[in-house]
Amino acid sequence: MGVISLRLENADLRRIDDLSSQEHKGRSAVARELIQQGLQFRMLKQYREGKLSLGSLAKSLAISVGDAIDMLAEFGIASPVEYGDYLKGLDVKW
């Protein structure tokens, strides 16, 4: 695991401390989660804007295409795959 040092505004540091207390986690764990969620949000936004394909989204997030479709649905972003097609894909045996 690498190490990064960064400067934060006092207000941002207080927000991290508040989340840390609420979730009973260390500051570093909360900061890592926030960074991960920010990256996910950015990738989802790029997908919605047509800058990423479904496969690229899944690859960028290191998840399966099925999980990417589920994530799109969770955030109300239309998927190019119809639900019936998705279910048919689940029936395919390798």
The pLDDT value given to residue 39: 94
Report how far Cα 70 is from the mean position of its chain's Cα atoms: 11
Give the CA diameter of the chain: 54
Long-range own/partner contacts, residues 89-92 (CB < 8 A, 24 or more apart)? 90/66
The pLDDT value given to residue 90: 62
**What string of pLDDT tens digits covers the 94 residues of the chain?**
888 888 999 999 999 999 999 999 999 999 999 999 999 999 999 999 999 988 899 999 999 988 998 899 898 887 776 667 666 666 655 5
CA distance 82 to 71: 15
The domains of the chain are located at: 10-91
* Count of CB atoms situated within 10 Å of the CB of 32: 13
Q: Residue 47's closest CA among 18, 81, 11, 19?
A: 81
**What's this model's pTM, rounded to 2 decimal places?**
0.74
